Amino acid sequence: MNLTNAEEQLMQYLWKLKKAFMKDLLDAYPDPKPAPTTVATLLKRMADKKFVGYEEIGNSRQYFALVKKNDYFSRHVNGLIQNFFGNSASQFASFFTTETDLSETELKELRKIIDEQIKKKQQ
């Protein structure tokens, strides 16, 4: 199950804050801020999808993520590779490196990361 763009934006704030009350989440938004009822609706939908949990503290709820950011984005990237690149990571890498405006330094950093992963696989 995926998040909508609005839910994903709210989830970004929650990942950053770790735990947050409604006021904290509203404060995280830039102006113009969404209505509290909008954020409450998003939180309810995200809780129904099992992305967000909460703890009752007095009359308030303190929200927290049930899904780790890395896990969520890893699933997204894997789905992207599967759906758009025929499940070929090399086709994805080729597209990514040729169709984005990466500097020479960034390309060298990517090569270093790949070389480190190759060494780990060889051990």
Sorted by where each begins, the domain ranges of the chain are 5-65, 69-122
Question: E strands of 29-92, at which residues?
Answer: 52-57, 60-65
Model pLDDT, residue 94: 86
Instruction: State whether CATH 1.10.10.10 applies to domain 5-65.
Output: yes
Rounded to whole angstroms, the Cα distance separating 22 from 63 reads: 8
Name all contacts of 26-33 with Cβ < 8 Å and 24+ positions apart: none
Model pLDDT, residue 13: 97
pLDDT tens string 47-70:
999 999 999 999 999 999 999 999
Residues 6+ apart with CB under 8 A from 93: none
Model pLDDT, residue 30: 95
22 half-sphere exposure, CB direction, 13 A CA radius: 16
What average pLDDT score do residues 16-22 get?
A: 97
| Residue showing tokens 């989830």 | 11
pLDDT tens string 66-113:
999 999 988 888 888 888 888 888 888 888 888 888 899 998 998 899
Q: What's the pTM value of the predicted model, to 2 decimals?
A: 0.74
